Amino acid sequence: MEEQDQHESFGRQGTGPLAGTLVADFSRVLAGPYATMMLADLGATVIKVEGKTGDDTRHWAPPRRGDDATYFLTANRNKHSVVLDFKADDDLAFAQQLAARSDVLVENFKAGGLAKYGLDYDTVSAVNPGIVYASVTGFGRDNPMPGYDLLIQGLSGFMSVTGSTESGPVKAGVAVVDVITGLHTAVGILGALNHRKDTGFGQLVETNLLSSALSGLANQTSAYVAGGVVPQAMGNEHPSLYPYQPMPTAEGQIIIACGNDKQFVRLAEVLGHPEWAEDERFANFADRNVHRAELEPGLIAALSEKTNQEWFDILTEAGLPCAPINSIAEGVDLASSLGLDPVAEAGAGDRVIPTVANPIRLSQTPASYELAPPRLGESTEAVKGWLRSLR
């Protein structure tokens, strides 16, 4: 855009692939902020617009790190925070000017909620035709019901396949629908930015929690759409693969993941029962699925001879996919031991916050972490001053 040079002086100085891209972040909670953090990690300048009490997740605690709710820290590094009251004429004018100067705008207000402020797509794109305007809703633009991750886990069918017949429906241990929607939103924005590079015009990017949940359910949704099968909860088992689940050992559990018939042959050998692979009931995926109840006692009996750690060492040495069930702490420690650098310190000076590293590795333009998750409104005056200088 022609305004790009004008906002570079305010923006972050970096070499990321999105350096020089200005993002107005009008989103809250997780899906939208997660998307904008992905863009920020890749070099975009993200201005997070908040109300006087801030993003809801600033108050979702415990746990905390000092005065900060760790939930907020999850999705808000590399951003500038400004506080604007849309009901105040001056602040609304600043918000509208920010939208007019931005390359990307991300919002997750109730469908149609920004129209009364002149911050809807039609109004913004009329003055800024290059804008990539990303709108995140619960159920699409024509359905203004509020969308929260837990509601969508229930409505989409996600909870119906999580848990077991004994436990009943169970939610995921993380706001997985919000995260999936955030990733979909970031991908949509990148696609629209690429289109703008060729045409000069932006476009409206729409994502919603329900559609993202159905997409994220992947093979489970496909089972119904393409096969007419309504998936059922199976606990830790897999509907198409066996064995592919945690199994008890002499101490703890070990996850066994046989992804093909050759792996099952090798597993049978390592467990001391090569005859299983010759048994017509267990020789291939389809037959093992049908005869799970007949195979499982033998697997459990064989695994009961050693601990989960012993089996992990033995099966890994044999090239078989397996894993213990770790805590989050153990998962982070494992990634560290493998050289994956899962923790990135964001910020500098007196405010450095450990955050979970961006998992995308780019060889020429890597993610950067120069800004810690911002204190509420810490950049308000700086951003207002910059916008005044452009009038």
Closest CA to 302 of 284, 338, 275, 330: 275
**What contacts 191, CB < 8 A, 6 or more positions away?**
205
For the chain, how far is it from start to end, CA to CA, in angstroms? 17
Q: Sheet containing 244-248: give its strands across.
A: 244-248, 253-257, 322-324
Angle between helices 261-270 and 308-317 (to 10 degrees): 120
Q: What is the rounded CA–CA span in Å between residue 323 and residue 277?
A: 22
Tally Cβ neighbours within 10 Å of residue 111: 21
Residue type, 367: A
Catalytic residue check, 142: no
Q: Which of 103, 178, 313, 333 is catalytic?
A: 178
Q: How far is CA 255 from CA 270, 272, 291, 308, 352, in A?
A: 15, 18, 19, 9, 37
Q: What is the rounded CA–CA span in Å between residue 134 and residue 57?
A: 21
Residues serving a catalytic function are 178
